A and B are shown apart, each in its own frame.
Chain A
Amino acid sequence: MSVRVQAKDFDLATELAGLTAGRTDIGAIVTFTGLVRDIAKSEAVSEMELEHYPGMTERALAGIEREARTRWPLQASLIVHRYGSLQPGEQIVLVATASPHRQAAFEAAEFLMDYLKSRAPFWKKEHTPKGAHWVDARETDEDALARWSD
């Protein structure tokens, strides 16, 4: 189980190899990779700036990961989240979950993403031809969280 917050890019194959190194009991790995899009609300995006709260970010992500482990039988999990200045097409976030069977891995990966979108202290600023603006939180992100609270 691990959480990393970093400015540099990550390599999916390397991360997966690290997750499974030395073990043969894993039956399913689900990964999610979030990318910077070049368009948002029909405006061209030339750059995405990601600010975060060093210290709290790592704690919040580790807490979300711990919560996922209480809900699903995970054998391994990984969250890598970048910060700093990112260009369209670049990778922002990686979530990977491993379990004996696929359902737990799929569900846990969705849970981790839903939680980190609105409970980990990151803020996005988009640069567009009209200027730069902070991205508003979306109500649909809160709705996505609500489905896990029972």
Chain B
Amino acid sequence: MQLVYFAWVRERIGEARETIESEAKTVADLVAELRAREPRYDLAFSDMSAIRVAIDQELSDLDAPLNGAREVAFFPPMTGG
């Protein structure tokens, strides 16, 4: 699946987009997997209350199932307008 990152999440992880293989069932499982992988993910996801998630470009909850998701995005609360 494709992972995409925006704003300071992108800066902390150090890339805007990457493709990974994962068996994670939910967003929370995926985050746990990433955090265990490398310190930069651990840092980016240390406070999940500051993170928003979109699955295939729809805002989703952290405990949302991933079943077949092609693209998962992580970003801070949005500040448009």
A135 to B81, CA, bound (A): 12
**Binary CB contact string for chain B from 50 to 81 against chain A (1 if under 8 A, 0 otherwise):** 00001001110000000000000101111111
Q: Which chain A residues border B4 with CB–CB below 8 Å?
A: 53
Tell whether, in the assembled complex, residue A134 and residue B80 are in contact, meaning their CB atoms are under 8 Å apart: no
Q: How many whole Å from B3's CB to the nearest CB in chain A?
A: 13
Tell whether, in the assembled complex, residue B6 and residue A120 are in contact, meaning their CB atoms are under 8 Å apart: no
Tell whether, in the assembled complex, residue B76 and residue A121 are in contact, meaning their CB atoms are under 8 Å apart: no
Q: How many whole Å from A64's CB to the nearest CB in chain B?
A: 10
Interface bin, chain B: 10 to 19
Tell whether, in the assembled complex, residue B57 and residue A56 are in contact, meaning their CB atoms are under 8 Å apart: yes
Tell whether, in the assembled complex, residue A134 and residue B8 are in contact, meaning their CB atoms are under 8 Å apart: yes
Q: A56-B54, A56-B57, A59-B57 are in contact. Are A118 and B78 (CB under 8 A)?
A: yes
A53 to B6, CA, bound (A): 8
Indicate whether A51 reaches chain B with its CB closer than 8 angstroms. yes
Indicate whether A108 reaches chain B with its CB closer than 8 angstroms. no
Number of cross-chain contacts by CB at 8 Å? 67
Nearest B-chain residue to A56, judged by Cβ: B57
Q: A53-B6, A53-B54, A53-B57 are in contact. Are A122 and B78 (CB under 8 A)?
A: yes
Query: Taking each of A81, A113, A124, which has the highest tally of chain B beta carbons within 10 Å of its own beta carbon?
Result: A124
B35-60 interface (Cβ within 8 A of A)? 54, 57-59
Q: How many whole Å from B50's CB to the nearest CB in chain A?
A: 9
Indicate whether A137 reaches chain B with its CB closer than 8 angstroms. yes
In the complex, besides A53-B6, A137-B79, 16 extra interface pairs with C-beta distance below 8 angstroms are A51-B6, A56-B54, A56-B57, A81-B80, A92-B81, A117-B81, A118-B80, A119-B78, A121-B6, A121-B54, A122-B79, A134-B7, A134-B8, A134-B79, A136-B79, A137-B76
Residue numbers of B with Cβ under 8 A of A are 4, 6-8, 54, 57-59, 73, 75-81
22 A–B pairs (Cβ distance < 8 Å), ordered by A: A34-B81, A51-B6, A51-B7, A52-B80, A53-B6, A53-B54, A55-B57, A56-B73, A59-B58, A81-B80, A117-B78, A117-B81, A118-B78, A118-B79, A119-B78, A121-B78, A122-B78, A122-B81, A123-B75, A134-B7, A137-B76, A137-B78
